[in-house]
Structure 1
Amino acid sequence: MTMRMPLRSTARLAIAALTGLLAVVPARAQMPAGLPIIRDTEIENLLRDYARPLFRVANVGGSQTNVVIVNSRAFNAFVANGRRIFINAGAILDSRSPNELIGVMAHETGHIAGGHLARLREAVERAQVIAAIGMLVGAAGVAAGAASGGARSSGVGEAAPGAITAGAQIGMRSLLSYQRGEEAAADRAAITYLNATGQSAKGMVETFRRLHNESMFIARHVDPYAVSHPMPADRIAIIEPLAKASPHYNRTDPPALEARHQLARAKLAGFLDRSDAIVRRYPPSDTSLPARYARTIQMFRFGDRNRAAAMADDLIRSQPNNPYFHEIKGQILLETGQPAAAIPALRRAVALAPNSGLIRIMLGHALVASGNNAVLDEAIRELRLALQAEPEAGDGYRQLAIAYGRKNDRGQADLAAAQAAYHSGDVQTARGLARRAQGSLPTGSPGWLIAEDIFNQRQRRN
């Protein structure tokens, strides 16, 4: 698992608005560069498997399902740019079953299919117009009062600020009313998608009931017309009858999917929680595979790292063909200064999960860091394959630059270093390295043209 803070090798997205399960946040600029993103092949593949059938029946996303994990413990999810679902780590950790998380993703799919982001922009514009009219009316009142010299006695000057405030409030309430309507529409669409894919909506109901129980005290003090989402109790009242009417309501998740879900939760807990929280979640009496997975990562982070590698071996004995157990062993060895020892585990992980660019990058890193020049060609091959799947992975380009540098291929080394800087957001350094790479590469060659493209960039593409 890799956490990016600030965002580096993950895609930078130009967005106009964010629409979430629990919050809608209008935004005028691109996504903040510091958004903390988690990259992990195991969890990303699980989320894609959850989302793919929903995207298919909703007729969105084409063949590419985009799911991004945000390093936040809040229970939330949102969509951006109409094509990506962002899932907070907290939503995964707190979803006790696949069905609960799938319900969240079905809701977000409803926002994408409904075109809610585009319409939210229109609603924001309408709200701004209403507020602007109120301000103009108020300003005109102030001007009239000042011109007459009798604003205080006539009451015009006193009423004008109220008109300004009222315009802003009407605009905001209009926007919030629109957002609540879209949230309700996304809830109904989610149930439609779950029915179409033969899945239960019980997880959605249980999620909203849990949110309702957690917010009961706060809800007593909230104006329901001043929030962007319907209150959880209202949402339950609407969706529960629809959910129970489905013939799939009592359907349970397949055991294999349940097992993957619990391993993903354990992995996140192992990497994100404090040691005491991991012990509370997985007490010593729990000998399940997820508990052992979390404890292996806990040992890696907080304890004896050599023992952690032995614990990873125990996981591998339980599931020899689980690529992510081999991956975690390789990561433990690589990050404890044993890159040569990490290579066999990472080679096995790549063999079991050949489409994972992230694991290939880790293997390439281990090969380069081993100091063995005999494996440099293998490192270059693995890194190039990895970067076909992860074309914005700055870490992969950095390792590739080191490998080419040790082979005394200055042109390719400078080009890879330029790409690493570019995809890390350092355009100025990237342009300098790109121009230097062109001095060593044949004019007009593919590498020379890539360097020319980088040199011509004035700012980082998003």
Structure 2
Amino acid sequence: MTRWLRLAALLLGSLMLMARPALAQSILRDAETEAFMADMSGDLVKAAGMQPRNVQVMVINDPEINAFVAGGQYVWVHSGLIAQADNVNQLQGVVAHELGHIEGGHVIRTDGIKEATSITLLSLVLGAAAIAAGGAEAGMGIMGLGQQVGMSKYLAFSRAQESSADLAGARYLSAAHLSGKGSLEFFKKLQNQEYRLAIPQENSYGRTHPLSGERINVLREVYTVDPAWDTPPNPQLEARFERIKAKLIGFVSEPQQTLLKYPESDRSIPAHYARAYAWHKSAYPERALSEADALLTAAPHDPYFLELKGQILLESGRPGEAIQPLREAVAKTQQPLIAVLLGHALIATEDEKNYAEAETVLRNAIARDRENPFAWYQLGVVYEHRGDTPRAALASAERFSMIGQDSMALRSADAAMQGLKPGTVDYLRAQDIAMVSRAAVEQKRKRR
């Protein structure tokens, strides 16, 4: 009987894992991309009744065509989705759908999961009783049937959420005066994938999402009568989309693939962008700089082209030359991610005169964006250089806490408290990190 119950518990665990999104992929942070995502989605966020400053659209490094929400007001978009989108309107259609999940509370609602779990647990009890009575085959049959019913309940609940998010997304697009053409075009891309994978198209039973064809049929009736149907994409946003798509492809793809997609004969801004990253990844700094200079010839004071040149110079061992373009980029944007790059360049010169500026730049960057482990690392280098060991330890504690190294965070926080004055802001922060990290370490120890 113990063996059968263990098997049943594994089946139940498999069901519950389906409801948990995977967050193991690496987050891709880029100042230009994050600014574009905020501007591209701002009207949609307002249409959904949320504040744009509270909603973030972030990119994760994953080649699949997918997007999801997973707690808080975050929309996570796969790099593969951006690479496959043909225009900004398609991306807006996807984001509108995901905002529908946030507004609908689908991230935190567990009604369907609870119902599915209760049915499954009931079947385990009945099955165990049958096995105990000597009917092993009958018991396993009851368990299997309960598992099947429970799974079907969960899948039906998931499909209902997806359909609800589709219609909510359509409302947001309409309220923002954005066409639904991009949404339909993207669902057609997904439908083509289903065809290639030979997914049966009769009905969506047994799937977490409705079939793309079903969604297209419903949404077409909504979109085609909307006044915004023939509204073209915003040309400025479209140009920015092509830029961030090209730089993303250049960053995540193999250089050979990037150079095939954006050959030397292509002299457009996106092509120069993509090739700059491809050559930089291939360790050809002069060719990468040539592409960056071509961009700056077209737009001499574009902050993101300046950032690109500064990054190539810095990562090619020329930090002193990187400072000027990075300073200008920071002055024009006040973007904390670019500021951290400038701080890194200032420190990398190993020039005593640059450390004070590096500290100011990094502290300002952290004040606007605390969730940057590399910024804390660089700030810790500055503190260590000037002999402020307690604050260097606190910076390390912040960094280790963010990257999930709880034991190291605890050790660093304890070290910081040894040298900080009790009751100060820094001491209290170190105390908070120590308390949270200690609890996490203890929890991990208990699970072993």
SS in 1 for 2:54: coil
The whole-number CA distance in structure 1 between the counterparts of 2:117 and 2:305 is 53
SS in 2 for 1:444: coil
Q: 2:69 aligns with which of 79, 82, 94?
A: 79
Q: What amino acid does structure 2 have at the position aligned with 1:41?
A: A
For 1:112, the equivalent position in structure 2 comes to: 102
C-alpha displacement at 1:89, in angstroms?
Answer: 0.5
For 2:124, the equivalent position in structure 1 comes to: 135
For 1:14, the equivalent position in structure 2 comes to: none
For 2:6, the equivalent position in structure 1 comes to: none
Q: Deviations for 1:260-301, whole angstroms, at most 9, x for unmatched residues?
A: 000000001111111221123213332111011111111111
Query: Given the superposition, is the C-alpha separation of residues 460 and 357 from structure 1 closer, same or farther in structure 2, using an over 3 Å criterion?
Result: farther
The whole-number CA distance in structure 2 between the counterparts of 1:307 and 1:282 is 14
Q: Deviations for 1:161-188, whole angstroms, at most 9, x for unmatched residues?
A: 3222111101111111111111111111
Contact kept? 2:25, 2:62, Cα under 8 Å = no
Contact kept? 1:46, 1:261, Cα under 8 Å = yes
Query: Given the superposition, is the C-alpha separation of residues 460 and 314 from structure 1 closer, same or farther in structure 2, using an over 3 Å criterion?
Result: farther
Q: What amino acid does structure 1 have at the position aligned with 2:376?
A: Y
For 1:57, the equivalent position in structure 2 comes to: 47
The whole-number CA distance in structure 2 between the counterparts of 1:341 and 1:66 is 33
C-alpha displacement at 1:402, in angstroms?
Answer: 1.4
Gapped regions of structure 1 (runs ≥ 5): 1-23, 152-156
Deviates more, 1:302-311 or 1:195-204: 302-311
For 1:416, the equivalent position in structure 2 comes to: 395
Query: Given the superposition, is the C-alpha separation of residues 162 and 324 from structure 1 closer, same or farther in structure 2, using an over 3 Å criterion?
Result: same
Q: Deviations for 1:409-455, whole angstroms, at most 9, x for unmatched residues?
A: 33333332332333333333333333333343334333233233333
Count of aligned residue pairs for this structure pair: 423
For 1:96, the equivalent position in structure 2 comes to: 86
More relative contact order, 1 or 2 (CA 8 Å, 6+ apart): 1
C-alpha displacement at 1:25, in angstroms?
Answer: 4.1
Gapped regions of structure 2 (runs ≥ 5): 1-16, 442-448
Deviates more, 1:358-367 or 1:306-315: 306-315
For 1:380, the equivalent position in structure 2 comes to: 359
For 2:4, the equivalent position in structure 1 comes to: none
For 1:390, the equivalent position in structure 2 comes to: 369
For 1:234, the equivalent position in structure 2 comes to: 214
Q: 1:400 aligns with which of 364, 368, 379?
A: 379
Report 1:237-386 matches (<5 A).
Answer: 237-354=217-334, 356-386=335-365
Indicate the structure with greater helix content.
Answer: 2
Correspondence 1:426 to 2:415 = no
For 1:42, the equivalent position in structure 2 comes to: 32
SS in 2 for 1:245: coil
SS in 2 for 1:67: strand
The whole-number CA distance in structure 2 between the counterparts of 1:432 and 1:136 is 46
Q: What amino acid does structure 1 have at the position aligned with 2:146?
A: G
Q: Deviations for 1:207-237, whole angstroms, at most 9, x for unmatched residues?
A: 1112112221422388621111111111111
Correspondence 1:441 to 2:427 = no
Contact kept? 2:71, 2:108, Cα under 8 Å = no
Query: Given the superposition, is the C-alpha separation of residues 66 and 203 from structure 1 closer, same or farther in structure 2, using an over 3 Å criterion?
Result: same
Correspondence 1:122 to 2:111 = yes
Identical-pair percentage: 35
Q: Deviations for 1:237-265, whole angstroms, at most 9, x for unmatched residues?
A: 11112111111111111211111000000
The whole-number CA distance in structure 2 between the counterparts of 1:452 and 1:116 is 35
Q: Give me the TM-score of the superposition, normalised by structure 1.
A: 0.86
C-alpha displacement at 1:62, in angstroms?
Answer: 6.2
RMSD: 2.1
SS in 2 for 1:219: coil
The whole-number CA distance in structure 2 between the counterparts of 1:49 and 1:369 is 33
Contact kept? 1:427, 1:459, Cα under 8 Å = no
The whole-number CA distance in structure 2 between the counterparts of 1:54 and 1:136 is 47
The whole-number CA distance in structure 2 between the counterparts of 1:321 and 1:460 is 47
SS in 2 for 1:117: coil
Correspondence 1:207 to 2:186 = yes
The whole-number CA distance in structure 1 between the counterparts of 2:440 and 2:40 is 32
For 1:175, the equivalent position in structure 2 comes to: 154
Q: What amino acid does structure 2 have at the position aligned with 1:271?
A: F
Query: Given the superposition, is the C-alpha separation of residues 270 and 160 from structure 1 closer, same or farther in structure 2, using an over 3 Å criterion?
Result: same
